[in-house]
Structure 1
Amino acid sequence: MSIQARFFLVLAVCLSLAACGDKNKQQNTTESADTVEATAQDINAQEREKLRQGGELRLAIANVAENWNPLHIDGNHHDYSRIRGSLLPVFFHFDSQGVPVPNPDYVLSVEVVSDDPTVVRYQLNPKAVWGDGSPVDGDDMYAKWQACNGEKKEFNCTSTESFETIESITMGEEKTDVTITYKSAFPDWSQGFSIPGAIKAESISDLETFNTGWSELNNDWLSGPFKVDSYDATQKILTLVPNENWWGEPPLLDKISWRVIANDARAQAFANAEIDAFDIASDPDAFQRALRVDNAQVRKAGGPNFRHFTFNSKAGLLQNLSIRQAIVHALDRQAIAASDLAGIDWPVKPLNNHVFLQSQAGFVDTAELTGLDYDPDKARTLLDEQGWQVGEDGIREKDGEKLIVRFMQLATVKASENEALQAQSMLKEVGVQLDIVTIPVTQFSQTLTGHEFEIIAFSWIGTPYPFSGIKQIYGTDSESNFAQLSMPEVDSIADQLATETDIAKRIELANQADKIIWEQVHTLPLYQRPELIATREDLANYGAFGLSSKRWENIGFIK
């Protein structure tokens, strides 16, 4: 299971602004490499004239959203974002290095008028319209700012960072002439108005509509190359078709169908030619099965995505920092990664930084720096010092209470199931009983946002902005701080990062924050998650995107 983060780093990391791979070169990851470039891309890139007009692209999702609002915490799911990508305004595309490039379908020009404070002027495309025919303009950008600037606490925004830094949004004689003035320097200014760049004002302006009005996808509120055609609730298939009011390059596909299929059933569905592509994630069985399918490929990229454990700091015995630290010492992340990735051509190496991948210029080995890494003897010592004594059954006790922690396992998600068993075995060695509780994937969002867990594992799926993810995931007041852990020093550093323009200083600050996050055991990174996408051989401009963004109108099948 995965969540999409909005920090400009995306997923906790652009992971490194400067240390990315070749801009235009299509790459496959190398099996023997120790590290994988964060911007590798493998999508079978083809020019439109080489592709046929028509055809249906059939894809799989875990479930259909109960809240489609891209700004709402309940809508911040990777699957939902994938679907919305062809339905909402994309102001900036991202190239293979994660660099934002204005999308002329919506933005004719963008100019940084001032650096400190940052002032940005947009000239929007007057041809851009919503599904009801009304223009995409400054009113929609203004509404987005007002909804998530942090002043309206009842609006359950995924993140407020990009918007609380704004001083004003004004318009010229035409509402497509938009000027955004920030309170100070704000180097990640494109973050808040990228994908989606704008949300229809009426869909987010009042509390009730913002929080509960997006239970279905309303074409009047959408603007993109595709629109919603139908949803079959019985078969759980959402069908998209080309938007007849689209003003850009016409979509090549006649239809995109999103079908709810359990994670462990997708490889078979692909082999049966029921779907045209699926995300293998960290599933060795699915990887091997995909390799055996005729006329198919596995496309690979090393995006800014990682598996991790989140620790609920307000749940049960995990409220005690020493117990959280002892658990970190007890977990052999190298072994967990090797087990998760067995049979997959991917470097097996623990990820020792919350912000940067090992291949990036800013990377510091924070596990080594803090000494908080695999060391069962240290785990035992910490628990001894806390008064937890080993009982006759090997499980520690204190004042009549056993040292029991719960792990929420996601059914049908192979990585989650494997990690639960691995952690259970490792923790038993130091006297900690890990009870595994299985929940269906459909309850994942509720469990996470409702903090109904002690330890849970999932993947952060990143975007190109590493630094802003610190505030979103680890900030005290953030809705995405699922660990519910307050770290005032990290809050202060995040505020500094928001206005710091010197890249070296930003990297230094980010690693200062990471040291605190690691010591406080907010989350424990496991490993960089491979982006492995099984696809039909003739499917073009689709696959493993790394840090780049999809251009849905250009996806199609080779003639």
Structure 2
Amino acid sequence: MHIRKSRARHAITAVALAGVAALALSACTTSGSTSGSTAATGGTVTVAVVNDLTSLNPSTPQGNVDTNGQVGYLNGAYGSGFQYIDDNYKIVHDDKFGTFEKTSDDPLTVKYTLNKADKWSDGEPVTADDMILGWAMQSGYYDSATFDEATGEVTSGTQYFTPAAGTAGIDQTAYPAVSDDNRTITLTYAKPFVDWELFNPIALPAHVLAKKAGLSFPADLTKLLKGLPKGDKAAPTAPDATLKKAADFANTGYDITAFPTDKDLLVASGPFVVSGWTPGQSITMVKNKYYAGGLKPKVDKVVFRIIPDSNAQVTALQNGEVDIINPQASADTLTALKATSATVLAGDQVSYDHLDLNFGAPVFQDPKVREAFLKTIPRQQILDSIVTPVNPKAEVLNSQIWLPSQDEYAASVKQNGSDKFDKVDIDGAKALLAGATPTVRILYNTNNPNRVDEFQAISASASKAGFKVVDAGSPDWSKLLPGGNYDASLFGWISPGAGTTMIPQLFATGGGGNNNRYNAMNDVAVKTQTTVDKDELITLEQQIDKATFADGYGLPLFQLPGIFGVSSRVDGVKYMGNQTGPFWNFWEWSVKSGK
């Protein structure tokens, strides 16, 4: 299922994009698209989004939020380049940007070639130097870090880059071979990698990171990388100061609270570039005049309007202030949308809400306390109040790996032990606690009505068993999530809908999405990335699914429904249930003539 981003949702990364990729999901049921014959080029499309911009690098744990990822999808920051995922969750190659092909199965070898016309938005060429940097950022090749399993902190050695997707799979590659014309790299894997087709070696501009590290040219950064040895956690050496400086900038230098005065932060390889940002109000993106890939937009400008409230989004659409909305689905929102002249597109999202317990928190070191708390979670009540009014056929989610629409879901539910938590069991929880009254601090997004409702329902139920639930909610929940200063968390994952990269991201030690420090399935999670036999892969995933319920990892709550509202002014919008939302086919959008 493997998913992330909300209302504040996090995005599960498919190697390249902030967030985790899941198993290939079944296509969503949708209600169509907007289309017409009156399309014109030019114009502006305004889209309402729930969350504000926090970083221009959506690949880090703290930057891995839906709006950051959607901006990154348009400007090429881990979102576009060699491939994209369509609304059938199929991987589509963009050969106009560059080509990539598997040239050998044993060993797995993949060749990436840039087109000569590729340039960054500042006019600098996109070269193999950029691909070498992208590989270094995502492979962990130079890392020698050992992590504390309880806290996730580095206890020895060095971790240079901190990709939210983790490094599993790409960490099996040797230093890439580079062509003489500096436009091609070839990756050779020591082991098979099931999601090799999702890896995108274009990330941040090498010439910018070289500059921030005190180097004159991107070739100097490549020379440094080529000369450094592979990291060895068994015998870590002192970190290279120059690479550390470049990595530190990649990790945190793109996090912003105002429109950057440093224009280097705006350099992009995708079809659009960020041209303005008023925090809390809007983000403006304009066409990248140097973009030479195949996803060339018809419109000149895309504006993100930050409108957290669903009803306010509908009102803005009705008043012509925005053209597209993707609000949190509710019965009231759907009714209000249908009363407007907008086209309503609906379907399932490859997204789910969940409660995670923090294995690094003292209160949950005792497995009996974990089980007792989970026995109090009123999942059916939460579903009935939030989702059932929109989708009467919705059901409580009983898997950490699959969604109900997937073929493997039913078989896994039969064996994973989720039935232990089918119903609230206050008496059972009390028996496990034996008179204890543990305090549990729950982190969630206070700006998200659904999360507020979830927290209140859980708090009321858990208190009946003796738990003292503390409201640790915050509008800055996404920044607090990686730190672990809480006992449990409520949020949602949303996925690209293709690949299995989410598994180590969530369940491997040091995984970019393993915020709750659950490490029991580390070896199995890592093995999923090199298991190409489908039946063997399903067996491994079933092991994880079963272990998470047995260990008290947390509980999945429900799959999220999705709705778009689209004004008659815009054509080309199609429903998409993954983390890119309505932006997934932005190059097909057009503003109707005369409007």
Report the counterpart of residue 479 of structure 1 in structure 2.
512
For 2:428 and 2:23, the matched residues in 1 are separated by 37
State whether structure 2 residue 308 is matched by structure 1 residue 262: yes
For 2:491 and 2:414, the matched residues in 1 are separated by 20
Matches within 5 A, 1:86-101: 86-88=74-76, 89-101=80-92
Report the counterpart of residue 212 of structure 1 in structure 2.
252
Contact 1:16 / 1:362 at 8 angstroms: preserved in 2?
no
Q: Which has the higher mean CA deviation after the structures are superposed, 255-264 or 477-486?
A: 255-264
Matches within 5 A, 1:301-380: 301-345=347-391, 347-363=393-409, 364-366=411-413, 369-370=416-417, 371-377=419-425, 380=427
State whether structure 2 residue 133 is matched by structure 1 residue 85: no
State whether structure 2 residue 326 is matched by structure 1 residue 291: no
Report the counterpart of residue 29 of structure 1 in structure 2.
none
**What amino acid sits opposite 2:281 in the alignment?**
K
Deviation of 1:465 after TM superposition, in Å, equals 3.5
Report the counterpart of residue 468 of structure 2 in structure 1.
433
Deviation of 1:340 after TM superposition, in Å, equals 0.8
Deviation of 1:486 after TM superposition, in Å, equals 2.1
State whether structure 2 residue 589 is matched by structure 1 residue 555: yes
Deviation of 1:2 after TM superposition, in Å, equals 0.1
Contact 1:149 / 1:160 at 8 angstroms: preserved in 2?
yes
Match of 1:468 among 491, 496, 501: 501
For 2:371 and 2:48, the matched residues in 1 are separated by 38
Q: CA 1:464 to 1:342, structure 2 compared with 1: closer, same or farther past 3 Å?
A: closer
Deviation of 1:45 after TM superposition, in Å, equals 5.6
**CA distances 1:184-213 after superposition (whole Å, capped 9, x unpaired):** 11121122317xx43312445612321232
Q: Per the alignment, in what secondary structure is the counterpart of residue 302 of structure 1?
A: strand
Q: Per the alignment, in what secondary structure is the counterpart of residue 537 of structure 2?
A: helix
Contact 2:346 / 2:575 at 8 angstroms: preserved in 1?
yes
Contact 2:87 / 2:575 at 8 angstroms: preserved in 1?
no
Q: CA 1:528 to 1:255, structure 2 compared with 1: closer, same or farther past 3 Å?
A: same
Q: CA 1:271 to 1:345, structure 2 compared with 1: closer, same or farther past 3 Å?
A: farther
Contact 1:12 / 1:466 at 8 angstroms: preserved in 2?
no
Mark the runs of 5 or more structure 2 residues left unpaired by the alignment. 1-7, 144-157, 210-242
Q: Per the alignment, in what secondary structure is the counterpart of residue 529 of structure 1?
A: strand
Report the counterpart of residue 131 of structure 1 in structure 2.
121
Q: CA 1:221 to 1:534, structure 2 compared with 1: closer, same or farther past 3 Å?
A: same
State whether structure 2 residue 432 is matched by structure 1 residue 403: no
For 2:106 and 2:329, the matched residues in 1 are separated by 44
TM-score of the two chains, using structure 2 as the length reference: 0.80
TM-score of the two chains, using structure 1 as the length reference: 0.85
Q: CA 1:532 to 1:218, structure 2 compared with 1: closer, same or farther past 3 Å?
A: farther
Q: Per the alignment, in what secondary structure is the counterpart of residue 180 of structure 1?
A: strand
Match of 1:245 among 290, 295, 299: 290
Contact 1:14 / 1:98 at 8 angstroms: preserved in 2?
no
**CA distances 1:142-161 after superposition (whole Å, capped 9, x unpaired):** 11221232315142221222
Mark the runs of 5 or more structure 1 residues left unpaired by the alignment. 22-38, 390-397
RMSD: 2.7
Contact 1:9 / 1:467 at 8 angstroms: preserved in 2?
no
Q: CA 1:287 to 1:192, structure 2 compared with 1: closer, same or farther past 3 Å?
A: same
Match of 2:536 among 505, 512, 517: 505
Q: Per the alignment, in what secondary structure is the counterpart of residue 350 of structure 1?
A: coil
Deviation of 1:80 after TM superposition, in Å, equals 0.6
For 1:407 and 1:502, the matched residues in 2 are separated by 39
Q: CA 1:227 to 1:381, structure 2 compared with 1: closer, same or farther past 3 Å?
A: closer
For 2:29 and 2:264, the matched residues in 1 are separated by 35
For 1:541 and 1:523, the matched residues in 2 are separated by 40
Contact 2:172 / 2:189 at 8 angstroms: preserved in 1?
yes
Deviation of 1:367 after TM superposition, in Å, equals 7.3
Matches within 5 A, 1:144-183: 144-150=134-140, 151=143, 152-158=158-164, 159-183=166-190
How many residues are aligned here?
A: 518
Deviation of 1:493 after TM superposition, in Å, equals 1.0
For 1:366 and 1:332, the matched residues in 2 are separated by 19
**CA distances 1:375-415 after superposition (whole Å, capped 9, x unpaired):** 444x533542442x2xxxxxxxx3xxx33322234223111
Contact 2:509 / 2:519 at 8 angstroms: preserved in 1?
yes
State whether structure 2 residue 33 is matched by structure 1 residue 44: yes
For 2:517 and 2:319, the matched residues in 1 are separated by 43
Q: How many percent of aligned residue pairs carry the same amino acid? A: 21
**CA distances 1:314-372 after superposition (whole Å, capped 9, x unpaired):** 22423322222222222232221111125313532011111111221222343763143
For 1:225 and 1:346, the matched residues in 2 are separated by 40
Report the counterpart of residue 155 of structure 2 in structure 1.
none
For 1:179 and 1:409, the matched residues in 2 are separated by 43
Q: Per the alignment, in what secondary structure is the counterpart of residue 273 of structure 2?
A: strand
Report the counterpart of residue 322 of structure 2 in structure 1.
275
For 2:482 and 2:355, the matched residues in 1 are separated by 15
For 2:555 and 2:579, the matched residues in 1 are separated by 26
**CA distances 1:478-523 after superposition (whole Å, capped 9, x unpaired):** 2321112221xx1111222111111111111111111112222223
Q: Per the alignment, in what secondary structure is the counterpart of residue 67 of structure 2?
A: helix
State whether structure 2 residue 485 is matched by structure 1 residue 452: yes
**CA distances 1:450-473 after superposition (whole Å, capped 9, x unpaired):** 223222211101013352211101
For 1:548 and 1:3, the matched residues in 2 are separated by 9
For 1:502 and 1:467, the matched residues in 2 are separated by 13
Report the counterpart of residue 117 of structure 1 in structure 2.
107
Report the counterpart of residue 106 of structure 1 in structure 2.
97
**CA distances 1:113-167 after superposition (whole Å, capped 9, x unpaired):** 1113210112222211111222223221211221232315142221222431212
Q: Per the alignment, in what secondary structure is the counterpart of residue 47 of structure 2?
A: strand
Q: Per the alignment, in what secondary structure is the counterpart of residue 148 of structure 1?
A: helix
Match of 2:60 among 72, 75, 78: 72
Report the counterpart of residue 35 of structure 1 in structure 2.
none
State whether structure 2 residue 10 is matched by structure 1 residue 3: yes
Q: CA 1:8 to 1:223, structure 2 compared with 1: closer, same or farther past 3 Å?
A: closer
For 1:117 and 1:45, the matched residues in 2 are separated by 45
For 1:428 and 1:339, the matched residues in 2 are separated by 20
